[in-house]
Chain A
Amino acid sequence: MIALVDCNSCYASCEQVFRPDLRGKPVIVLSNNDGCIIARSQQAKQLGVPDLQPFFKIEAQLKRHKVHVFSANFRLYGDISNQVMATLRDFSPQVEQYSIDEMFLDFSGMPQDLNDYGMLIKDTLWRHVRMPVGVGIAPTKTLAKLANHAAKKIKDSGVAVLDTPEKWKWLQKRLPITKIWGIGKRLGQRLNALGIHNAYQLAQADARFIRKQSSVNVERTICELNGEPCIALDEQPAPKKEIFVTRSFGQKTSSQEELLRHISRYAAAAAEKLRSQNSLCSSLYLFAFTSEFKPGFYNNSLVMRLPWPSSDSTLIIRYARQGMAQIYRPGALFAKCGIGLLDIRDRQFYQPDLFTPGQDKHTDELMGVIDGINQRFGRDALIFGAEGLTGKWTMRQQRLSPGYTCSWDAVPRIACG
């Protein structure tokens, strides 16, 4: 059997971990730059706060309902997610972290009552981390996802076990196919056209026929819906094949200098991510555009090849600036730019050849020192001159909660009084 444990309204719940006064209250979290609503607590959902809605449109309404609003604090969420995942690892020898707030656990060979075990997991996560979760348990990953859905939507307990065909068939008949793991909106429409509307109909469909109509993945999904495991637990998450850092500017700009500062900053962040997964990249994808909604829309992109596979921030920033300088057009009011690191390879398999110099040892040492300092004193303790020193380019994060887990200055203060 496989369990899927999923944090309820993860980001909103993270904001409540160190704020007991906010538990049971409507809380929402905004995306980068305070643009959109990306998380809503249960109470916010009940108030009818819509998901992914531009914040400015409903700001007044939210204020009236006394909704607590936060800018996304991803470092805090990352730390709390790590605590959740570490706690979950105690419950199974084989796990797969599927996303920041979801983990699959292998329960094969576990003799206990699985419903009780699920309850124990849920209670422990609340007690140890103050994270509310739902637990779905079933023979396959796809069914575990459905069970998790049921745990949240149907049962109050937050734990659902689909251990017999009767149980999963009952649920499947009530679920539209787009609720199935791996079936997106477009594929859903194609299947609808074939007369398949709910999960049960898909489970009963002829796998080979469906395969001809769509893809082998759907065939696997059908097997999984019938309780036959086809998708194994992937214990080691693959390193990212592409790393993108992109952001809308807090303030639009037509200055080349400012655009280059933005891209330098994103390049530095991307290079740091690259080093943290111990990889090298050999190409950069650079892009920038103006606001789509304004006349004179301009967008452009290009790919820069690095002289050798690298994770060196100085080199990546230099090439990113060269590329962005070509994209820049005088007069255009840029709203967004970004960098993608492409052709990423694992460092340990990289073979330098005789004729290209490659990344030298000093560079590695220097980058190690920079990453060490930034880990220790906070991101941005040490930055590259190209990233600029004015505050204009930083994200709009007017409602950021303190980094309760990220800096000594911000750990909670507790009254002994």
Chain B
Amino acid sequence: MLIRLQPAAQDLSRQELPLYASRVRAGFPSPADDFIDRPLDLNEFLIKKPAATFFAWAEGDSLRDIGISQGDLLIIDRSAPHVHGAIVVAALDGELTCKILDTRRKQLLSANDEYPPINVDGREDMVIEGVVTHSIKRHLRQV
């Protein structure tokens, strides 16, 4: 079986970067630099509740103006509160879609003029699946 060694196969949970106790300074090295703290865990920073979190790829450009574009990785927490203004993943009639939650007008909004708001007041087929806590954008295509 062939494996494709492509960036998508990188496993974030194993990314560990050493954190030095003091800042980098020119001149005399700090004796504290000998004591390396616990490695930084990107998971710990990005994921508050691992048991309620999943990942998804963003497809489409309806959230362009808030910086989410095609191919970004979304981190979605099902346990986070559904507050006004949160970016949520909603199931509309069984289809997953990513929108901005407007609890006041009971609408799902886009961040792109080409996509009108969706009224969800009284729509029983609308379920919020989770809240997008981070979106990860790759800036360097090839390493």
**B-binding residues in A (CB < 8 A):** 18-23, 82-84, 86-87, 127-130, 376-378, 380-381, 383, 389, 404-405, 407-409, 411-417
A389 — which chain B residues lie within 8 A by C-beta? Answer: 1
Given A408-B8, A415-B59, A416-B58: A129 in contact with B52 (beta carbons within 8 A):
yes
In Å, the complex CA distance between A414 and B72 comes to: 10
Would you call A414 and B54 a contact (CB within 8 A)?
Answer: no
User: Which residue, B11, B51, B63, B98, has most C-beta atoms of chain A within 10 A?
Assistant: B51
B98 — which chain A residues lie within 8 A by C-beta? Answer: 414-416
Size of the chain B interface, CB-CB below 8 angstroms: 40
Q: For residues 66 through 119 of chain B, which have their beta carbon under 8 Å from a beta carbon of chain A? A: 68, 70, 73-74, 78-79, 89, 91, 93-99, 110, 115
Would you call A128 and B51 a contact (CB within 8 A)?
Answer: yes
In Å, the complex CA distance between A87 and B1 comes to: 36
Q: Answer whether residue B137 sits at the interface, using C-beta atoms and an 8 A cutoff.
A: no
Would you call B61 and A417 a contact (CB within 8 A)?
Answer: yes
A23 — which chain B residues lie within 8 A by C-beta? Answer: 94
Partner of A383, one of B1, B54, B79, B99: B1
Q: Which residue of B lies closest to A409 (CB)?
A: B8
Would you call B59 and A413 a contact (CB within 8 A)?
Answer: yes
A415 — which chain B residues lie within 8 A by C-beta? Answer: 59-60, 62, 95-98
**A-binding residues in B (CB < 8 A):** 1, 3, 8-11, 14, 49-52, 54-63, 68, 70, 73-74, 78-79, 89, 91, 93-99, 110, 115, 127, 129
In Å, the complex CA distance between A22 and B127 comes to: 13
Shortest CB-to-CB span from A98 to chain B, Å, is: 18
Would you call A86 and B50 a contact (CB within 8 A)?
Answer: yes
Shortest CB-to-CB span from A74 to chain B, Å, is: 18
Q: Which residue of A lies closest to B58 (CB)?
A: A416
Q: Which residue of B lies closest to A379 (CB)?
A: B1
Would you call B89 and A414 a contact (CB within 8 A)?
Answer: yes
Shortest CB-to-CB span from A133 to chain B, Å, is: 14
Q: Which residue of A lies closest to B72 (CB)?
A: A416
A20 — which chain B residues lie within 8 A by C-beta? Answer: 91, 94-96, 127, 129
Shortest CB-to-CB span from B53 to chain A, Å, is: 9
User: Which residue, A22, A130, A407, A416, has most C-beta atoms of chain B within 10 A?
Assistant: A416
Given A20-B96, A376-B11: A416 in contact with B54 (beta carbons within 8 A):
no
User: Which residue, A129, A404, A411, has most C-beta atoms of chain B within 10 A?
Assistant: A411
Would you call B129 and A378 a contact (CB within 8 A)?
Answer: no
Shortest CB-to-CB span from A126 to chain B, Å, is: 9
6 A-B pairs with least C-beta separation: A21-B94, A417-B60, A20-B91, A128-B52, A86-B51, A408-B8
Partner of A413, one of B49, B50, B57, B110: B57
Would you call B97 and A417 a contact (CB within 8 A)?
Answer: yes
Interface CB pairs A-B, < 8 A, 26: A20-B127, A21-B91, A21-B93, A21-B94, A86-B51, A127-B52, A128-B79, A129-B51, A130-B78, A376-B9, A377-B3, A408-B55, A411-B54, A411-B55, A412-B55, A414-B57, A414-B74, A415-B60, A415-B98, A416-B62, A416-B110, A417-B59, A417-B60, A417-B62, A417-B97, A417-B115
Would you call A380 and B1 a contact (CB within 8 A)?
Answer: yes
In Å, the complex CA distance between A389 and B129 comes to: 41
In Å, the complex CA distance between A380 and B61 comes to: 36
Q: Which residue of A lies closest to B14 (CB)?
A: A376
Q: Which residue of B lies closest to A372 (CB)?
A: B14
B93 — which chain A residues lie within 8 A by C-beta? Answer: 21
In Å, the complex CA distance between A128 and B61 comes to: 28
In Å, the complex CA distance between A84 and B59 comes to: 28
